[in-house]
Amino acid sequence: MDRVTVFSPAKINLSLAITGRRADGFHELISVVARLGFGDTLHAERADSAAANGATATLVCDAPGVPTDDSNLVLRAARLFADETGWRGGVRFTLKKHIPVGAGLGGGSSNAVAALRALEQLSGNALAPGRRLALAAALGSDCPLFWHEAPVVMRGRGERITPLPAEAARRLVGRRVLVFKPDFGVETAWAYQALAARPEWYADAAAEEARLAAWFADGRAPAESLLANTLEHPVFTKWLALPALLDQLRERHGVRARMSGSGSACFALLEEDVEEGELIATIRAAWGEAAFVQATTLA
């Protein structure tokens, strides 16, 4: 195989409870995460020789501002894969970017796992499941979830992944969702540092586990009752445009929207009979035409 194309989906955190800071500087979390039906596309093809700088993997991207040097997780994934398998074949990556940067939608993490998937196919070296997750965790806390094809619960710093029970997953998969983001992003490191400065904002781990267990047990509980995000505390304190719009959506349209991850992207789950046009008009009126808006489904 000389060329492969891999879909690289976005994700949203339906719930995100940050329960404290660990000794290693990472944060403990409990989060229900679902992949989305929209995302980036990563093309990978064998290259006959290394690039001029000696790299065996190179990257181009169609989105301005996305780094294509060694700081990009796609190329970091390629290095880890080569170290793990010993495969040193040349690869040219081409990333077609649709997931906005600085959104809390997991774009970079998803791209990294898409690169590992592509490299497995190009090289013929399939990683063992445990090694897949270990390499993903080494790349970033959000990366391991993208090896899973259904909604999951993330724990620890994100490396402990549990697929949702089948009945609970059925309440999520296929649900309509509107994702929207203003023309500014939120730096993840800042959001966590701001949260750490206010420990009273941390969620209680036992209470969150009890809340999730109750949702799993109640087969009639809708996805909307899951929605929560600890990081809204620091982010909404600084970027007032976010809570202002979410309040408008609730008051005008009866829609309960939340922020995903560290933001700045937000989302609203939509019932089948809800027309998204009026919601989009409210979003554009608040955030302008530069706002990113994407209708999709939970996957």
CB 261 within 8 A of CB 16: yes
Single out the residue of 62, 96, 93, 61 nearest to residue 76, CA to CA. 93
For residue 187, give the 3-state DSSP assignment. Answer: coil
Q: Where are the alpha helices (DSSP H) in 86-148?
A: 107-123, 129-139
11 is catalytic: yes
Q: Which two tokens stand for residue 84?
A: 């793990």
Q: Which two tokens stand for residue 251?
A: 């008051």
Per DSSP bridges, beta strands 176-181 and 292-297 are: antiparallel
Of the residues 24, 69, 70, 142, only one is catalytic, namely: 142
Cα-based torsion angle of the residue sequence 209, 223, 248, 275 in order, rounded to the nearest 10 degrees: 170
Q: Which two tokens stand for residue 106?
A: 């997991």
What is the number of other CB atoms lying within 10 angstroms of the CB of residue 126?
11
Q: Dihedrals φ, ψ of 89, to 5°?
A: -65, 150
Of the residues 11, 40, 97, 181, only one is catalytic, namely: 11
For residue 210, give the 3-state DSSP assignment. Answer: helix
C-alpha to C-alpha distance for 29 and 111, rounded to whole angstroms: 22
What distances in angstroms separate CA 47 from CA 33, 81, 88, one per listed residue? Answer: 36, 16, 11
CB 191 within 8 A of CB 234: yes
142 is catalytic: yes
Active site residues: 11, 142
